[in-house]
Amino acid sequence: SLKTEHVQALAKFIEPEQNGIKYFGVAEGKNVFVIQAESVQNFVINTKINGQEITPNLNKLVDNESIYFDRYYEQIGWGNTSDAEFISHNGFYASRRVFSYKAYEGIDFITLPINLKDKGYNTIAFHGNEGDFWDREKAYPSQGLDEYISIEDLEVDEELGLGLSDQSFFRQSMDFIKELHQPFYSFLITLTSHHPFIIPEDLKELNVGEQYEGTSLEDYLQTVRYLDTQIGEFIQALKDENLYDNSIIVVYGDHKGLDYRYAEANEHITNLIGREYQVQEMYRVPFIVHMPGSGLKETISTVGGQVDFYPTMANLLGIELRSDSVLGKDLLNTEKGFAAIQNHVAQGSFIDDNIVFVMSEDGIFENSDAWDLKTGEPLDLELAREGYERAVAELKLSEYILQNNLVPLVHEKGIKGALEQE
Ligand code: GP9
């Protein structure tokens, strides 16, 4: 049966229960700010253009009492930004049929915000676009996000790109935040750095130099820099409101901004970063957990993806989560890295600590490509077979669990236990 097939496929990949959890509860009881940063890719971190840092504020975060995951990958499907939210909060993959909030409407979830509510947190989400975009308004209550402040609740005093400017967005969000009962979980989805990356001249802070002037890379970097400035100001506002010391600030990129298959952008990014801009770099987004007062500063280079957000955050926030109740892993306590990459056409692409594998669009393994993660050299496809099988198994299993409304049972019994009982 399909179920037996899932259980068998999974048994091959499931990792043993961990003993001794590193960093468990180090951020317990703190207010949590999660900033889902529109289109922010990892290559901007600690990179300079024409002598200037692209993201001085994010660089400062990385450098100061943060855990920085520098091999972290987007795993979105059709639902772009909203899938990034879904995967991160649930520890399951995006639907392959339609955006996840729609595909999985009406089922029972257990999410990071729900766990935090059980610990007495208030939960709230903010976004400077229409409330019903991506069905967020409808989906958020079952995701454990009790309050949702969208553009209808804010004063539209400065429009940029798809909606309210990030500057106005962060400033107005603070008016709500300072009234919240603590502790709280506050999820902020930014917008200005959305494709096609257009902001007025007077908001452009970078002088990219002749080489990049007027290119799509310049457009992209100007909006990323703009967002970086707003994040810097938001952190300053947290300090001014005496919220900084008892909070953690988490930033991650939702998905790529510039496609590596776009020759012009590829050439410019390759020049900028000094190595070839390829598929692995395109999917790579930053994940930074800044914990003031923790004394912790670490870069974790285990390969992971957005599906790992929930178990990793649960660990830091002192939430007991069975390691076999989600498809993600706690990246602070995982030896072997793995990230299944969703793409719209064929399942099976993945990145692990050694291999980048991109499944051919025709769905035929033999027509696919594999490279060495570190050197970029082509690899014998057979080396990628096990990872490919794991990626397919995880994605199918995720869909099976969600479609059959098994999340609560899976949290109670573990994936294997739940499927055996079902
Ligand atoms: C829309 C915003 C951007 O509200 O989240 O969506 P995207 O097109 O990136 O999915």
- Tell me the per-residue pLDDT of 88-125, one tens digit each, with 9 for 90 and over: 999 999 998 899 999 999 999 999 999 999 999 999 99
Q: What is the percent of the chain with per-residue pLDDT over 90, rounded to a whole number?
A: 91
pLDDT band at residue 382, thresholds of 50, 70 and 90? Answer: very high
Q: Is 255 annotated as a binding residue?
A: yes
Q: Where are the alpha helices (DSSP H) in 257-303?
A: 263-273, 279-283
pLDDT of residue 157: 98
The ligand 1 atom at the shortest distance from the C-alpha of residue 81 is 10
Spatial separation of the C-alpha atoms in residues 379 and 357, rounded to whole Å: 9
Whether the per-residue pLDDT at 359 is higher than 80: the answer is: yes
Whether the per-residue pLDDT at 191 is higher than 70: the answer is: yes
The closest of 73, 79, 74, 81 to 97, measured between CA atoms, is: 79
Average pLDDT over residues 213-221: 98
Average pLDDT over residues 317-343: 93
pLDDT of residue 12: 60
Residues 6+ apart with CB under 8 A from 411: 110, 321, 322, 325
At 213, the amino acid letter reads E
pLDDT of residue 395: 94
Average pLDDT over residues 141-152: 98
pLDDT of residue 20: 60
Check: CB of residue 106 under 8 Å from CB of residue 63. Answer: no
The closest of 284, 390, 412 to 6, measured between CA atoms, is: 390
pLDDT of residue 14: 59
Residue 189 DSSP SS3: strand
pLDDT band at residue 420, thresholds of 50, 70 and 90? Answer: confident
pLDDT band at residue 8, thresholds of 50, 70 and 90? Answer: low
Q: Is the backbone peptide bond immediately before 292 cis, with ω within 30 degrees of 0?
A: no
Strand order in the sheet with 147-149: 147-149, 122-127, 184-189, 31-37, 247-253, 287-290, 66-69, 298-300
For ligand 1, say whether the CB of 150 is within 6 Å of any of its atoms: no
The ligand 1 atom at the shortest distance from the C-alpha of residue 134 is 4
Whether the per-residue pLDDT at 170 is higher than 90: the answer is: yes
If you measure from the C-alpha of residue 366 to the centroid of ligand 1, how many angstroms do you get, rounded to a whole number? Answer: 35
Residue 68 DSSP SS3: strand
Q: Is 192 a catalytic residue?
A: no
Residues 6+ apart with CB under 8 A from 248: 27, 30, 31, 32, 33, 289, 290, 291, 292, 316
| H-helix or E-strand spanning residue 226 | helix 216-240
Spatial separation of the C-alpha atoms in residues 176 and 186, rounded to whole Å: 10
pLDDT of residue 343: 73
The residue whose C-alpha atom lies closest to atom 5 belonging to ligand 1 is 81
Spatial separation of the C-alpha atoms in residues 339 and 350, rounded to whole Å: 6
Spatial separation of the C-alpha atoms in residues 355 and 350, rounded to whole Å: 8
C-alpha separations of 290 from 25, 68, 232, 233, 377 in Å:
14, 8, 13, 15, 35
The ligand 1 atom at the shortest distance from the C-alpha of residue 79 is 10
Mutate to test the pocket of ligand 1, among 162, 223, 227, 252 (most ligand atoms within 8 A of CB): 162
| CB neighbours of residue 313 within 10 Å | 29
- CA 377 and chain centroid, separation: 27
Q: Is 38 annotated as a binding residue?
A: yes
Q: What are 108's two structure tokens?
A: 């029972």
Check: CB of residue 169 under 8 Å from CB of residue 14. Answer: no
Q: What is the percent of the chain with per-residue pLDDT over 70, rounded to a whole number?
A: 95
pLDDT of residue 2: 64
For residues 301, 304, 306, 307, the Cα torsion angle rounded to the nearest 10 degrees is -150
pLDDT of residue 421: 85
Q: Name which of 2-11, 136-145, 321-330, 353-362 the model is least confident about.
A: 2-11
Spatial separation of the C-alpha atoms in residues 310 and 112, rounded to whole Å: 6
Q: Which listed residue (55, 81, 111, 223) is catalytic?
A: 81
| CB neighbours of residue 255 within 10 Å | 21
pLDDT band at residue 217, thresholds of 50, 70 and 90? Answer: very high
If you measure from the C-alpha of residue 191 to the centroid of ligand 1, how many angstroms do you get, rounded to a whole number? Answer: 7
pLDDT of residue 18: 55
pLDDT band at residue 5, thresholds of 50, 70 and 90? Answer: confident
If you measure from the C-alpha of residue 261 to the centroid of ligand 1, how many angstroms do you get, rounded to a whole number? Answer: 21
Q: Is 157 annotated as a binding residue?
A: no
> Which range among 10-24, 238-252, 345-359 has the greatest average pLDDT?
238-252
pLDDT band at residue 13, thresholds of 50, 70 and 90? Answer: low
ipTM: 0.94
Summarize pLDDT for 234-263 with one digit per residue, the tens. Answer: 999 999 999 999 999 999 999 999 999 999
For ligand 1, say whether the CB of 78 is within 6 Å of any of its atoms: no
Q: Where are the alpha helices (DSSP H) in 40-104?
A: 56-63, 80-90, 100-103
Average pLDDT over residues 69-86: 97
Q: Is 192 annotated as a binding residue?
A: no
Q: Name which of 187-191, 228-232, 275-279 the model is least confident about.
A: 275-279
The residue whose C-alpha atom lies closest to atom 9 belonging to ligand 1 is 81
C-alpha separations of 41 from 36, 248, 252, 269 in Å:
12, 21, 9, 12
If you measure from the C-alpha of residue 95 to the centroid of ligand 1, how many angstroms do you get, rounded to a whole number? Answer: 17
pTM: 0.96
Residue 190 DSSP SS3: coil
Output the average pLDDT for the chain.
95
Question: Is residue 84 left, alpha or beta, with left meaning phi > 0 and alpha meaning psi from -120 to 50?
Answer: alpha
pLDDT of residue 11: 62
Check: CB of residue 185 under 8 Å from CB of residue 124. Answer: yes
